[in-house]
Structure formats: C-alpha cells, structure tokens
Structure 1
C-alpha cells in the first residue's frame, strides 16, 4: 500500500517498491553483507540475489505513514552477525527517514545464510 505525504502544496505518493529499493541499497553498503536473499527460502535453498533484484529480498508494509521492513540477507563468514544486523538496521532507518520523511516503526533482519567470500 503506497504511503501518502500531504503538505500545504499538495501530496506525494511513495510506493512500497521505492522504499524497498532504498532499503536494499542502504543495506548493501554495510560491511559484512554478501547480498540479499529471496524471501521464500522454505525449501532450504537460499538464492543470492543480484543488484537488479534487491527488492525481492525486502518486504515493506506501510500503515498510516509508518514503515515496517523485513530484510532477508546473506552475511559473510567470519563476521559477528549481531553487529552486521545492527549496522544494517541503523543505516536503513536513517536512509528511509531522511529520503522519504516517513517514520520507520520496525526493521526485522532475517539471516538466510552465510557465505565465504573469495
């Protein structure tokens, strides 16, 4: 559901895919992240997504201009997962709030796998 920002000059509709793209690009800038993973890893196979498909690893829901984001990620082997997740949460929250002006209510990070970087 797209969110709507209203001011004295008119209104701006921000689609969820825009928010998902901002969140995916912000997360990819964080150290220790190999990439985004597909949301449906029910069969046990985690597919690492390319940069063109970052939004498939992000689920966004907006209710009354409050954003909730679920990120599905693959981390690098040897990094502390909690530190990487906290960095991602901080970076994504900062970018979403500054670029859209909307309040981020919750960011959930789901680690779908660990990869060894060559």
Structure 2
C-alpha cells in the first residue's frame, strides 16, 4: 500500500471506513506537539509554504508509511533546551500511539522519533535605560 491509498477498516455489513494517510499525519502531529518538552515540529517545503500563506498544517514533521500489514510513523521534532531527550521522545511515542488507538482503533508497528535539534530560549534581555 502506498501513501496515495486509503487505509481500509470497517464492517462487512455496514460498508467500509477509509482513513487517508493525511489524517494519520495530522493526528500524530497534534499528539507530538502536545508533549511537554517538544519545541516544534520540523516540516518540509510544502508545509513551510502553507504556513507562510496563513494555513496551519498539523501534519508538519510527520511521515506515515503504510505497507501491507503495518503502520510506521516517523516524527521529526525539536526539543526544548534542558529537557531530557529520551524522556521527551518516549512521551511522544506514547502520546502518538494512544491518540491513534483512541481516534482510529489502529495499532502502530513503529513510532520513530527523530530529534533534529534543540531549541534554546530566545528571550530578548531588556537593556537598562540610559540616564542623561
């Protein structure tokens, strides 16, 4: 099964339910972004252009691979400085797995977390006023 195909589920008596890979990307992206310690998700050129023109793309930084009998998700995150990377990554895996199970009933075979950077605080320190 490639990314252009839908994931089929459902009952033989009522019809079938199809879930597009983009839906899985959005669910996984939101679940990953909710985790404490995740600064942001890393996107690609298409998601960057979408955000420039004002559209929020919640699947940014998520790649879904649907094959015969397995669902593999790769997420690309930036972690806040000072947070434990193994803890944050584990929480991202758990949150994505739980969100997809709750919303779609799908069991994932893999959730791979790629930490692509560390985000430092960018506080602008206010200078003391100059007295004349």
Give TM class, smaller chain.
0.7 to 0.9
Structure with greater strand percent: 1
8 Å CA contact 1:39–1:72 kept in 2: the answer is: no
User: Please, which of 3, 7, 13 is the counterpart of residue 3 of structure 1?
Assistant: 7
Which range moved further: 63-72 or 27-36? 63-72
Q: 1:72 aligns with which of 72, 76, 79?
A: 76
Provide, for residues 54-110 of structure 1, a one-character-per-residue CA deviation record: whole Å limited to 9, x for no partner. 313100012246321000000100011000000000000000111111111100000
TM-score, normalization by structure 2: 0.76
State the 4+ residue runs in structure 1 displaced beyond 2 angstroms.
Answer: 63-66
**The structure with more radius of gyration:** 2
TM-score, length-scaled by structure 1: 0.84
Aligned counterparts of 1:39 and 1:83: Cα–Cα separation in 2: 25
How many matched pairs?
A: 111
5+ residue gaps, structure 1: 41-46
Alignment correspondent of 2:99: 95
Relative contact order, CA 8 A, sep 6+: which one is greater?
A: 1
Aligned-residue CA RMSD (Å): 2.1
Listed as ranges, the gaps of 5+ residues in structure 2 are: 124-132
